[in-house]
Each structure stands twice: as structure tokens, then as C-alpha cells.
Structure 1
Amino acid sequence: MARPPVARRALLDAARAELIDNGRIEDLSSVVKRAGVSTGAVYHHFGSKIGLLAAVYNEFFDGAEAALRAADHSGGSWLQREQYRTRAMVQYYFGNPLAPVLMYAGVEHSAIAELEATHLSRIAEGAVRNLRDGQRANALPVDLDVELAAAYLVGGLRRALAILLRRTPRPTVDTATDRLWHFITATIRTGLPARQLADEGTKPAITA
């Protein structure tokens, strides 16, 4: 039998694989079989199937937030950095096979939906701070309602990413970033000099 720390990681990996393969976890037997542990290990480490699912999705959300934080150090102007952050988010969701399960197939329990709501709330709070930084940097108009803009952007990006993930063939990261960036700049452009948008807001996405 696997040692506890190994068993916990094995269960997380097995549950993630089960979600990716089947879109849901019907029962724990398939997960513990993948993980090579006993059913009791699930209850020992996570308390329940829902606890295991919550841990899997928490890792996904933590990864999304880490991708945004890493993009904060991309340099350049405020608008250029925001374009890079947009690309980083697209790259994370397009590169993570769990993303379509969460964003399109749905979740199995209201507790998981609450996790996403908490994650989106944190993202929105960060967006408010970030938009205010843009105002202080004279990259955004002072009359922009940053709370409304942040809510609009976060909710809209979430839905737009879900649509893009469904498309066949799926657009490239650069194409998806360009399309999303177009809508982002349309949301925040009120009062911005046209020349500034032309010079900075429409530059090609920075590639990794």
C-alpha cells in the first residue's frame, strides 16, 4: 500500500485523469483503481468524494491564479502587460485538459461551483486593483468605473474561454488572445487617446 503522501498525490492524479477521460466521477472505485490505493485512503486524505473533487479543482484554480501572477513580471507598459496576462490565461486554459470539464461539461456538486465562484471573486478583486494601477499610470481614463469593468471583464472572459474551448478546430493561443484582447480594449477604452490604443493596445500578443 502506498505511503500517505504518495497516496494523496496518486488520488489527486487519478481523480483528475478520471474527470478528463469521462467528464465526471461516477464512483470512487475507478479512482482508487487508477491510484492503486484503498477506498479508505480517499476518506483519510479528503473526507469524501466531494473533498477529493474540491482538492482537484482547487489545484486547477490555483494554477490559473499563478499564471496571472507570473505574467505580472512581463515588463513593458501597462497595456502591454495586460495583453501578456490575457495570453497567459488563454495559454493556461488551452493547455490544461481539465479546463473543458470545468467550464463546459460542468461540475458534479454545488460545493465545486462555490469554489469557482470564490476563485472568480479573487480574480475580480485583483482586476479592480489592476485597473486602478492602470489609472495611476495614466493608461486608463480616470472616469472608468473599475468595479463594473472588472466584473464585466472577468465574467465575459470566463464565458468566452468556455466558447473557445468548445470550438473545432480550436483556435491557436495567439488567435484566441487577439480576439479576447479586442473585446478587453473595447471595454476599457473610454477616454483613451486613439493614438495610445493604436500604439499599444493592438500590438501582437507577446509569445512565450
Structure 2
Amino acid sequence: MTDDLKSPKKHSAQRADAQQNHGRIMAAAKARFASDGPSAAMDTIARDAGVAVGTLYHHFGSKEGLLNLVIQEHFQVVTDFLASLQDSADPWWAVEQVVRGMAKRQIKDRAFKTMIHQHSNLIETTSQAKRGIDPAIQALIDRAQATGLVRPDLRAGDLSALLAGLPIGEDQAEQRERYLLIVLQGIKSENA
């Protein structure tokens, strides 16, 4: 009977340890895939996470399974960010945050984007994960357009093209901010 009473505690401790391992593995995988691309070795990811390589295979099945989860988690962060803006009292502020957030991700996620574009098998995973992003951005744009703050012809897909020319060097922050202000001014309606 005493063992039965200890079981829930032991199970809870194992579960907490598994969650910590999962977090360390995901952090190590993100960093390693960003630096080495999809060819990153599972042994290296395991070492970086401080776990046995068997733990990776136990939790994720394969390197592709781990990579797909990293991609999905990446886009979940973006989706959550967009959801946090949906109820903003200021529709222009929400659109500005989208533009600024996209610019930050463009700089931060260069290796991530390169990795995806170099490996065609990741493009499908990426497009599935991205499906909710453009509609969420468009909903924010629609709100701002309804108040007359954003030009009526702006679409969610336009933002990536508008931001493609941003300087990405660490020493180009001032120039990048200037370009961002030009883009933001350009998407405002004439009446705003």
C-alpha cells in the first residue's frame, strides 16, 4: 500500500523530468538546426540538450519528426503573437506590431528560412504550419482598413514583399528602422 501512495509522486517527478528534457531538446534542436540545417546530427542535439540520443528517438521517433516539431513550434509562436493582437483597441497599432514583428523574425530567422528553402521536403511541412498565419494577418489589416487607417488595397501577402529589402546586418539597425518607417507610412491610408 505504501508503494501505491508513492507511485503518483514518482510518476509526477518522471513527468516533470520528461517536460524538462523536452524543453532542453527543443531549445538544442532549434539552435542546432538553425546553425547546421537539417543535416544536424541527432548525437550533437542530444549532447547539446544534455540527454542520451535514445531519449531523442524515444520522444520524437526520428530526426525528421524532431525537425517537423521545431517547424510547427516556430509557427505556433507566430500564431500566438497574432492572436494576442486580435483584440487590440488600436487597429493601427496591431498592424504596426505585425510589420515590426515580421521584420524582427526576418532578421532572427534567416538560417531557418534558408534551411527550409534548401530542402524541398520541408516546404510542405512549412506550408501546412503557415496556413493560419496569413488569414490572421489579414483579419488585423481588415480591422484597420475598416477604420480608414490602412490603404484599402493592402493584403497580408504584400507585407513579406514590402519587407524583403530590409537591411539585415546588426550594424544596420538605424537604416532598417528608417526603411520600416517608410513601409509603415506607405501602408497607411491617405486619410490617416
Change (3 A) 1:84 1:108: closer
Question: 1:83–1:181: 8 Å Cα contact kept in structure 2?
Answer: yes
Confirm whether residue 156 of structure 1 aligns to residue 169 of structure 2: no
After TM superposition, give the deviation of residue 48 of structure 1 in Å.
0.9
After TM superposition, give the deviation of residue 49 of structure 1 in Å.
0.3
Deviates more, 1:8-17 or 1:169-178: 169-178
Larger radius of gyration: 2
The aligned counterpart of 1:85 is 98
Confirm whether residue 180 of structure 1 aligns to residue 172 of structure 2: no
Change (3 A) 1:68 1:90: farther
Gaps of at least 5 residues in structure 1 are 198-208
Taking structure 2 as the reference length, the TM-score comes to 0.70
Change (3 A) 1:135 1:21: closer
- State how far apart, in whole Å, the 2-side matches of 1:114 and 1:171 are: 33
Gaps of at least 5 residues in structure 2 are 1-15
Tell me, what secondary structure is at the counterpart of 1:53? Answer: helix
- State how far apart, in whole Å, the 1-side matches of 2:92 and 2:181 are: 13
What letter corresponds to residue 173 of structure 2 in structure 1?
A: P
Confirm whether residue 12 of structure 1 aligns to residue 26 of structure 2: yes
- What is the aligned length? 177
What letter corresponds to residue 123 of structure 2 in structure 1?
A: A
- State how far apart, in whole Å, the 2-side matches of 1:66 and 1:184 are: 24
After TM superposition, give the deviation of residue 37 of structure 1 in Å.
1.9
- State how far apart, in whole Å, the 1-side matches of 2:68 and 2:145 are: 37
Question: 1:50–1:109: 8 Å Cα contact kept in structure 2?
Answer: no
Aligned-CA RMSD value: 3.3
Question: 1:68–1:85: 8 Å Cα contact kept in structure 2?
Answer: yes
Provide Cα deviations, 1:93-139, integer angstroms capped at 9, x if missing partner: 54xx4x11122454564443223323443222223333433444344
Change (3 A) 1:165 1:103: farther
Provide Cα deviations, 1:41-66, integer angstroms capped at 9, x if missing partner: 22221121011111122222122222
Question: 1:68–1:89: 8 Å Cα contact kept in structure 2?
Answer: no
What letter corresponds to residue 156 of structure 1 in structure 2?
A: A
Change (3 A) 1:175 1:115: farther
Taking structure 1 as the reference length, the TM-score comes to 0.66
- State how far apart, in whole Å, the 1-side matches of 2:172 and 2:64 are: 31
After TM superposition, give the deviation of residue 30 of structure 1 in Å.
1.0
Structure with the higher helix share, 1 or 2: 2
